[in-house]
Chains A and B, each alone.
Chain A
Amino acid sequence: MSLKLTLDGKVHEVSIVRRRPHLVLRIDGQDHELTELPAEGRGHASMAMGGHAVSFARATVADRQLLRLAGRTFEVGTVDPFSKAGAGGASQDVVRAPMPGAVISVHRRAGEAVARGEVLVTIESMKLQTGLAAPRDGILAAIHRFEGETFEKDEVIATLEPQVDEG
């Protein structure tokens, strides 16, 4: 398993090569041997890295990891190994009916900007009213079923404008 860390916005890949007799880390393809040195107290620590002693201090503030090294403070981030889309469904552009039923009310109109989680249409089925929410932030392209209209399971009820890839 390797870990992706960010330092000053740049992503670095870190993996453990071996633990004994010394910890060896492979950072961006290059191996480094590390030895922990006795702690200096007050949050300061040091280690030997490839024969050089390195002094540093680290702190956790809320969710942020901060590192003080060579007179500078760095923020260390971790890259979430799970894709953002993972649990959201195959397509992020359409809102499908989770069950057959009828539309009770339509809350937003085509062309409007909507936020992730915002309820677009309320449906009723099997005695239960369910709000169909936007799967992501975006522009509502169309609503396909309106008040009083019925639909089958998996029918597309609303569509978002396709997302423009900014990357």
Chain B
Amino acid sequence: MRKIQSMISTSSADFRRFDRHNRAMLADFRARQEAARHQRPERDLDRLASQGKMRPRERIEKLLDPGTPFLELSSLAANMAYGGDSPSASSIVGIGIVSGREVVIRADDPTVKGGAWYPLTAKKIVRALDIAMENRLPVLHLCDSAGGFLQLQSEVFPDKYMAGRIFRNQSILSKMGVKQLALVFGHCTAGGAYIPGLSDYSVIVRGTGAVFLGGPPLVRAATGEEVSVEDLGGADMHTSVSGTCDYPAATEEEAIHIGREIVAQWDRAKKWDCQRDAPEDPAYDPQEIYGIVPDDIKKSFDMREIIARMVDGSRFHEYQPNYGTTLICGYANIWGYKVGILANNGVLFNDSSLKGGHFIELCNQNNTPLVFLQNITGYMIGKEYERRGITKDGAKMIMAQSCSRVPKFTVMCNGSFGAGNYGMCGRAFDGRFLFTWPNHQIGVMGGDQAANTLAEVKINQMKRNGGGVDEAVVRQLWEETRAAYQEQLSAYHSTSELWDDGIIDPVDTRNALAIAISASLNAPLADPGYGVFRF
């Protein structure tokens, strides 16, 4: 493979301006992430300390093998929902290594409203368990939750992908032979009780841990029975009488040690044999990405410059370099793992769509995982392109992509507008992981286009009604539409709604991808085959 020859001048005015812009954007992201992770009311932290409990992140830290990385997912979930009342959607999810095994860790956050599940908490947990299923990763549940957030119960409880899905996924995981361990640090009430109930193994802490379908107040209200937490669902009752939990622990620390010992007994999934070479740093500094991604979503940039700062040795074997040039396809290594990369360098035309579809088939034939780097404004429109069958060529790319048997990974590097999102493995296409950069924007169309469209409708309406066109009204509508649209387009909105697996620092992309690829190899390749391609 050949080293990409960068054409970037790090001393150019553009580079310096973009670098300042993107670093400021990153500082904002870091500040939001820091707040979501650690900023809590003093009162909640004091209550936790007085109960002798650790903070959830301390628990995770003690659980992980020392010196190993933890890939936290969706750290800014729910950041734009519920008035900011549910940082990280009151839940911590990530991939880490415990007793030498790659696992999904999922922890309730008792420092937020007693760990109550908001609608987006349920969505985040369901996604965590989907990740476990798709990649065959054991799950460690760190339970400490008051149950569903009652004020919003209609959005937590009834529908297919709400809280019930958590327990359905738990059952299916167990059937698939993917182990689950529940560490009960606090209360597991009502539905939450089924988390340890449906885990293959469970540990419960004496004094603070409890599992019951209805807590003491509910029992009193329903039957008049007076009963203490310990008697109703404490550690000793469940580990010696009911058999709902397996191991009692005197302290949280001890529970973590027992948990690590349990995980150490588990068999390891056989990873499939992905091509690997010795890992190597990129030849170009990944920090230079900040100076390459422009300060305006409308400005394009050469995605080869990003690839050069993401892959081993900056080496890239480019496929069909002179055909369908608005889609870059080629092989590279990320931390040693061989991957096939598809990256947008402009609008998708007929030839670039066909090239993309063909390259996806090559990667499926070659057992090579796919990495999609999105910066896409859509498929080309216009009479000439429709006559050439841009729709059916785009459909071929979507077909090949959807039916891929190799794991897929997507990085939202900049814009993701229109149907290009689909061809490039957007959220709906079951990629194993989807990461987002802070500058990312996503929508059916851009803010300017939406505002223009609505303003035009308004002007026509005014004309039809016989009156003159009130420029001020149109201007105001334009501004308001654009502002509302702009907020919805932002990466923060996207990640708040869990349309991704989290915003990451662009520089960390190759590390996040490597952890994700390594995790994905635990699941065997899917069956080969495609649907009917429209030729």
Select one of A98, A100, A117, A129 contacting B298, CB under 8 A: A129
Given contacts A82-B2, A127-B449, A128-B347, contact A133 B7 (CB under 8 A): yes
Establish whether residues A100 and B382, one from each chain, have CB atoms under 8 Å apart when the complex forms.
yes
Residues of A within 8 A of B382 (CB): 100
CB distance from A56 to the nearest CB of B (A): 27
Establish whether residues B7 and A86, one from each chain, have CB atoms under 8 Å apart when the complex forms.
no
Establish whether residues B300 and A87, one from each chain, have CB atoms under 8 Å apart when the complex forms.
no
Residues of B within 8 A of A125 (CB): 347
Establish whether residues B417 and A127, one from each chain, have CB atoms under 8 Å apart when the complex forms.
yes
Establish whether residues B325 and A117, one from each chain, have CB atoms under 8 Å apart when the complex forms.
no
Residues of B within 8 A of A153 (CB): 349
Q: Which residue of B lies closest to A125 (CB)?
A: B347
Bound state CA distance, A98 and B448, in angstroms? 23
Tell me if A167 is interfacial: C-beta within 8 Å of chain B.
no
Interface residues of B, count at CB 8 A: 27
Given contacts A98-B326, A126-B377, contact A131 B300 (CB under 8 A): yes
Establish whether residues B299 and A99, one from each chain, have CB atoms under 8 Å apart when the complex forms.
no
Establish whether residues A117 and B7, one from each chain, have CB atoms under 8 Å apart when the complex forms.
yes
Q: Which residue of B lies closest to A100 (CB)?
A: B382
Tell me if B321 is interfacial: C-beta within 8 Å of chain A.
yes
Given contacts A82-B2, A127-B298, contact A99 B380 (CB under 8 A): yes
Q: Which residue of B lies closest to A119 (CB)?
A: B14
Given contacts A82-B2, A98-B326, A99-B326, contact A126 B321 (CB under 8 A): no
CB distance from A101 to the nearest CB of B (A): 9
Residues of A within 8 A of B9 (CB): 117
Tell me if B346 is interfacial: C-beta within 8 Å of chain A.
yes
Establish whether residues B318 and A87, one from each chain, have CB atoms under 8 Å apart when the complex forms.
yes
Given contacts A82-B2, A127-B417, A128-B300, contact A99 B7 (CB under 8 A): no
Tell me if A43 is interfacial: C-beta within 8 Å of chain B.
no
Residues of B within 8 A of A116 (CB): 7
Bound state CA distance, A82 and B316, in angstroms? 13
Chain A, range 71-128, C-beta contacts under 8 Å to B: 82, 86-87, 89-90, 98-100, 116-117, 124-128
Tell me if A46 is interfacial: C-beta within 8 Å of chain B.
no
Bound state CA distance, A99 and B300, in angstroms? 13
Establish whether residues A89 and B300, one from each chain, have CB atoms under 8 Å apart when the complex forms.
no
Q: Which residue of B lies closest to A87 (CB)?
A: B321
CB distance from B284 to the nearest CB of A (A): 14
Tell me if B446 is interfacial: C-beta within 8 Å of chain A.
yes
Tell me if A130 is interfacial: C-beta within 8 Å of chain B.
yes
Bound state CA distance, A117 and B378, in angstroms? 26
CB distance from A102 to the nearest CB of B (A): 13
Residues of A within 8 A of B8 (CB): 117
CB distance from B512 to the nearest CB of A (A): 26
Residues of B within 8 A of A130 (CB): 300, 346
Chain B, range 11-62, C-beta contacts under 8 Å to A: none
Residues of B within 8 A of A82 (CB): 2
Measured CB to CB, the residues of B under 8 A from A are 2, 7-9, 296, 298-300, 318, 321-322, 325-326, 346-347, 349, 377-378, 380-382, 415, 417, 445-446, 448-449
22 contacts between A and B (CB under 8 A): A87-B321, A87-B322, A89-B322, A98-B325, A98-B346, A99-B326, A99-B347, A125-B347, A126-B377, A126-B380, A126-B381, A127-B298, A127-B417, A127-B445, A127-B448, A128-B346, A128-B377, A129-B298, A129-B299, A129-B300, A131-B300, A153-B349
Measured CB to CB, the residues of A under 8 A from B are 82, 86-87, 89-90, 98-100, 116-117, 124-131, 133, 153
